[in-house]
Structure 1
Amino acid sequence: MSLTSDPPVDLARAKATADDSATSKVVPVRHPWRWVAIVATVVVLAQFLHGLVTNPGWEWGVFADYVTADAILKAVWVTLQLTFHGTALGFALGIVLAFMRLSASRFLRAVSFGYIWAFRSIPLIVQLLFWFNLAYLYKELSLGIPFGPSLWSFDTMGLVGAMSAAVLGLALHQAAYAAEIVRGGVLAVDGGQLEAAAALGIPRLRQLRRIVLPQAMRSILPNAANEIISLFKGTSIVSVMAIGELFYQVQVVYGRNGRVVPLLMVATAWYVLLTTALSVVQHYVERHYAKGSTR
Structure 2
Amino acid sequence: MSSVLYDAPGPVTRRRTLISSIVAGIILLAVVVVVVLRLVAQGQFTAEKWGPLVNPLNPDFAAVWTLFGQALVATLAAAGLTLVFSLVIGTVLAMTRVTAAKWYRWLVVGVVEFLRGVPVVIAIFFAARVLPEVGISLPIIWYLVIGLTLYNCVIIAEILRAGINSLPKGQSEAGYSLGLTRGQVLRSIQLPQAFRIMLPALISQLVVIVKDTSLGFIISYEEFVRTANIIIQTLRNPIQTYAVVAVIFILINYTLSKLAEYVERRLSRGRRGGVTPTDTEHEAEAGVGAVTGG
1:174 maps to 2:157: no
Pair 1:251-2:229 in alignment? yes
Distance 1:108 1:101 in 2: 9
For 2:51 and 2:178, locate their aligned partners in 1 and report how far apart those are by CA, in whole Å.
63
CA contact (8 A) 2:95 2:186 kept: no
Q: TM-score, normalised by structure 2?
A: 0.72
Question: C-alpha displacement at 1:109, in angstroms?
Answer: 2.7
2:22 corresponds in structure 1 to 39
Q: Percent identity?
A: 23
Q: Which one has the largest radius of gyration?
A: 1
Which structure's residues are more often helix, by fraction?
2
> Is 2:90 the counterpart of 1:94?
yes
Residue 81 (structure 1) aligned to one of 77, 97, 113: 77
1:166-216 deviation line (CA, Å, top 9, x unaligned): 112212221121111111121111213321344366787785567534653
**SS where residue 271 of structure 2 aligns?**
coil
Q: Distance in 2 between matches of 1:281 and 1:241?
A: 31
- Unaligned ranges ≥5, structure 1: 1-27, 140-155
Question: Per-residue deviation at 1:217?
Answer: 4.5
Alpha-carbon distance in 1 for matches of 2:176, 2:46: 63
Give yes or no for the alignment of 1:65 onto 2:65: no
Specify which structure has the bigger relative contact order, considering alpha-carbon pairs within 8 angstroms and separated by 6 or more residues. 1
Q: RMSD in angstroms over aligned alpha carbons?
A: 3.1
Are 2:115 and 2:150, in contact at CA under 8 Å, matched by a contact in 1? Answer: yes
2:244 matched to 1:266?
Answer: yes
Residue 33 of structure 1 aligns to a residue whose secondary structure is helix
Q: Distance in 2 between matches of 1:70 and 1:51?
A: 34
TM-score, with structure 1 as normaliser: 0.72
Q: What amino acid does structure 1 have at the position aligned with 2:15? A: P
Aligned partner of 1:8 in structure 2 is none
Separation in 2 of the partners of 1:59 and 1:117? 48
The 3 A distance-change label for structure 1 pair 51 and 272 is farther
Structure 1 residue runs of 4 or more that deviate by more than 6 Å after TM superposition = 201-206
Deviations 1:117-149 (A, max 9, x none): 33223322222222223454213xxxxxxxxxx
Distance 1:203 1:65, change over 3 A: farther
The answer to whether the 8 A contact 1:229-1:278 is kept is: yes
